[in-house]
Amino acid sequence: MTLRRLLLVCVAVVAGNGGASAATYNTPEVNFTVEAPSAELAKKFGDMAEDYRKEKALEWLGREMPQWPQRCRLLVQITQGSPGGATTFTFGTEGGRSVVSSQRMEIRGDVKQLLYSVLPHEVTHTVLAHHFGRPVPRWADEGGSVLSENDEERFNHDVRCRELLNAGRGIVLRTLFRMTEYPRDMIVLYAQGYSVTSFLVKKGGDGREGRGKLLQFLSQGMQGNTSESWNAAANKVYGFASVDAMEEAWLTALKTPPTRVVARDTTSPGTPLAGLTSSPKTELRSSAAPAVPLLEPPVKTARGSAPDSEPFRPSVAPPSTPVSTPNVRPMAPDRPPPVLLPPELPPPMKQ
């Protein structure tokens, strides 16, 4: 994740409180230095971080990333509170191109949740950052990283997006795509960013092919980051006449209720978490700004006629972090918000 300032430093939130680390582990692949409460945990997280680094690079790029020029420090703190992660990047130039010059990762929470969702989420940020060598659009950076989280958390993001749209809190895509700062209503960016990212990956063929097309779309849209560049990218990569046409297709797809799926097996041989027999917790987390829960209930508001622009609703913003306030209106302000169906839950198991 990247905060759009002169130094282009990315900051993500860390939830909970943790103590000092007690052991250090340098991975043999020379990409991570892990600090954790015990030598066993340090090795476990280091090996898993390297595994996810390979896995996510293959999923997004179709190839492994080369060895990083310097290790990424990974600080692991085990806490009982809500899990969270922080990955910080600085960007520089090398050979005339923009590159990641340094990175640092910090994660806190329950061991299984960290291994199962938080760590792959944060590692995905590194894959996207190194691929582009510069800040990734907020919606896609978070949306693509949420794709790495477990099935139930992705389901919850899907449901949450529908709740927000029905409450009139969505952001039109032509605005969302060009945003370079987190909005004050950050919950919308996470849920809607994931929903749009998932839609585009499926539209592009799903799997590696779908992710590759999303990277193409981002690369073209980021060139100038204008309405024209994003419209041209939507047309060239996906065949939509414009971003507005893309939005219509995305909303239509959302009218089919999501189906909850069983979280992937963590005990089968060959899976990254083989040997962890208990199911991970399924709390959702924010990795944007402190004290903003991702699953807060929708804000109830009384609306009259929609003005030309609508200020953001009050919410918690990170102290000393400037927040831009673009001219953002509710989703599709010229018509009522879409009425989306509730999630489709699986039938109860027969005894």
Could you read off the pLDDT of 110-169 as tens digits, one per residue? 999 999 999 999 999 999 999 999 999 999 999 999 999 888 888 988 999 999 999 999
Same domain, 123 and 222: no
Count of structural domains, the chain = 2
- What proportion of the chain, given as a percentage, has pLDDT over 70? 67
Same domain, 109 and 27: yes
Q: Which of 3-12, 73-82, 182-191, 318-327 has the largest mean confidence?
A: 73-82
Last residue of a domain, one of 86, 106, 136: 136
Work out the average pLDDT over 188-215.
95
* Residue of 195 and 311 predicted with greater confidence: 195
Flag whether pLDDT at 289 surpasses 90.
Answer: no
Distance CA(30)–CA(49), nearest Å, equals 11
Flag whether pLDDT at 82 surpasses 80.
Answer: yes
Last residue of a domain, one of 72, 102, 136: 136
In a domain, 249, yes or no: yes
In a domain, 337, yes or no: no
Same domain, 20 and 131: yes
Work out the average pLDDT over 238-260.
90
CA angle in degrees (0–180, nearest 5) for 64-69-71: 90
The residue among 94, 41, 42 whose CA lies nearest residue 68 is 94
User: Where residue 21 falls among pLDDT bands split at 50, 70, 90?
Assistant: low
Flag whether pLDDT at 222 surpasses 80.
Answer: yes
The number of residues making up the chain comes to 351
Asked if residue 193 lies in contact with residue 142, where contact means CB atoms within 8 angstroms, the answer is yes
The residue among 345, 346, 337, 347 whose CA lies nearest residue 161 is 337
Could you read off the pLDDT of 292-304 as tens digits, one per residue? 333 333 333 222 2
41: domain range? 1-136
Of the listed ranges 69-78, 246-255, 267-276, the least confidently predicted one is 267-276
CA angle in degrees (0–180, nearest 5) for 226-228-230: 70
Question: What pLDDT shows up at residue 96?
Answer: 85
Same domain, 124 and 215: no
In a domain, 236, yes or no: yes
In a domain, 252, yes or no: yes
Residue 335: alpha-carbon gap to chain centroid? 29
Question: What pLDDT shows up at residue 150?
Answer: 85
Same domain, 3 and 73: yes
Please state the three-class secondary structure of the chain as a single string. CCCCCCCCCCCCCCCCCCCCCCEEEECCCCCEEEEECCHHHHHHHHHHHHHHHHHHHHHHHCCCCCCCCCCEEEEEEECCCCCEEEEEEEEEEECCEEEEEEEEEEEEECHHHHHHHHHHHHHHHHHHHHHHCCCCCHHHHHHHHHCCCCHHHHHHHHHHHHHHHHCCCCCCHHHHCCCCCCCCCHHHHHHHHHHHHHHHHHHCCCHHHHHHHHHHHHHHHHCCCCHHHHHHHHHHHHCCCCHHHHHHHHHHHHCCCCECCCCCCCCCCCCCCCCCCCCCCCCCCCCCCCCCCCCCCCCCCCCCCCCCCCCCCCCCCCCCCCCCCCCCCCCCCCCCCCCCCCCECCCCCCC
The residue among 340, 86, 3 whose CA lies nearest residue 192 is 340
Tell me the pLDDT of the chain averaged across its residues: 75
Question: What pLDDT shows up at residue 182?
Answer: 83
Same domain, 26 and 130: yes
Question: What pLDDT shows up at residue 185?
Answer: 85
Q: pTM (2 decimals)?
A: 0.71
How far, in Å, are 45, 194, 236, 274, 339 from residue 219 at the CA level? 32, 18, 12, 36, 33
Distance CA(280)–CA(329), nearest Å, equals 37
C-alpha torsion 163→166→170→173, nearest 10: 110
Same domain, 151 and 256: yes
Last residue of a domain, one of 244, 274, 304: 274
Same domain, 29 and 81: yes
Same domain, 40 and 142: no
Flag whether pLDDT at 198 surpasses 60.
Answer: yes
Flag whether pLDDT at 26 surpasses 90.
Answer: yes
